[in-house]
Amino acid sequence: MKNKKQESTQEKASRLILKTGLVFIFSVFCLMLTAHHAFAATMSVSPSSGSYTVGQTITVSIRANTSGSAANTAEANVTYSTNTLDLTKVSQGSTFYLPAPGSPSKGVGTAYVGGGLPTPGYNGTAGVVGTLTFIAKAQGSAFVNISSGKVLLNDGLGTDALTSTSGAKFTIGPPAVGGVVVSSDTDPDPTLWYNDADVNLSWSRPDGAYGFSFILDQTANTVPDNTLDTTVTTSKTYDSLKDGTWYFHIKARRQDQTTFGPTVTFQINIDTMAPQAFDTKLVGEDPATLINQTPTVSFTSSDSGSGLDSYAIFLDGHLYRENAVSPFTFDRLPGGSHVIQVSAKDKAGNVTQSQLPIRVKNGPGVLSVLYKNVTVPVYWIVIFVFGLLILLVFLILALVRRRRGTSPEPEIKQIQADIDESLENLKAEISQKLLGLSAKSSEELFAKETAAAKELRSGIVKTRKKIDGKISRIRKNSRKSKNETSTPE
């Protein structure tokens, strides 16, 4: 009896152990099953909201959150508002970078992005599946939603763990104001240099513009802050700016918006310093002694601001040559004392001058003064030539008186021929010098010398006529005297 009771107790214990084991195994299985199905991936549009203006670009990305597990595939079908948005570009995501068939693609109001990556896959909260770029084309509300998608686990089964999606909503306002147009009455050309340190600036007011934000600095790509500097004025003056390149940056916005229009930059170049002082030197000669009539000078300056633009050479206060290059050789100069001036000009118009006094040897003859840069007054030349011609006339008269009673015709003809030849040679030399002047002189200097030379040639012609008249009268008197001698008393 006792043994049977003991067996019954053991059977109960065995059954209890068996039940407990089965419950434990079932619990573990259920726990594992529950843990597996507790995984939940999500997909969203980022950013999820924002305010934009018509014409602005809106870029969004489709992101996957794997909630702590690894995924090696993700894809999304996207829809958007076609009345307010224009989809311009769809790009493959940087996380799931191996494109799925048909990705990326876009249609009317739709887009598709999808891709994968090798084992071990992606485990994170913001894996990029794709990127979409829109242009805001009209005012109103704009939506970008994920209509369907997948997030496949890297579990060997390709389990889809996507449980929810979220889209984005944007507000599209009126277009931002356009760029302003900047101008300056003191520094009108941004590519040139100016030597005035005071700058006046003015700008236009685009349609719809309420106020402006601006800044002046020496950085080319600065963007002004979003604080309005003025809502009334459209001009600004800056005084005593230091030398260098400056940039005026300005942008405008509407009264009912925080979004500004594009930044416009206006460049200002200031150089108030003259080129470096320099010396003008004679090449191969000593300025303390008499020098030859075609001296050569050298000169070199520099400018640390806008840079050197050109050199000009003056002789005795008159412009001799523009855009001169060192070393420079003069044409034949008249004898006597002169002052050479070299002017160095920078790109802002600042000038530095250097002077060199010289004494030039006398030239070979009177006609040398007809060379460029005549310093002897032309009327002295005319008087000198006329004096010579009058002297010739008196010599002719004296010769005729000495030979009265004989026919002076051969001598007169010879003298007239000599005078004609001398006058023609003189006029030819003047013409030749004028040709040289037209090729070498400045326009102003050439005009003066041309007028003087023409006056001299005109005087020569008049003098020739007077001499011809004198000779004609001499011939007439000679014939009359001869007839009186041959008539018997």
Per the CB < 8 A criterion, the answer to whether 176 and 189 are in contact is no
pLDDT score recorded for residue 120: 95
pLDDT attached to residue 374: 43
Q: What is the pLDDT of residue 257?
A: 80
The predicted structure's pLDDT at residue 366: 43
CA distance 53 to 135: 10
Low-confidence ranges of the chain (pLDDT < 70): 1-39, 363-457, 459-464, 466-468, 470-471, 474-475, 477-489
Q: Which of 258, 266, 140, 248 is nearest to 210 (CA)?
A: 258
Query: How far apart, in whole angstroms, are the C-alpha atoms of residue 35 and residue 10?
Result: 37
> Residue 80 is encoded by which pair of tokens?
């958007």
β-strands 168-173, 140-153 pairing = antiparallel
How far is Cα 232 from Cα 477, in angstroms, rounded to an integer?
98
Q: What is the pLDDT of residues 167-196, one digit of tens each?
A: 999 999 888 888 999 999 999 999 999 999
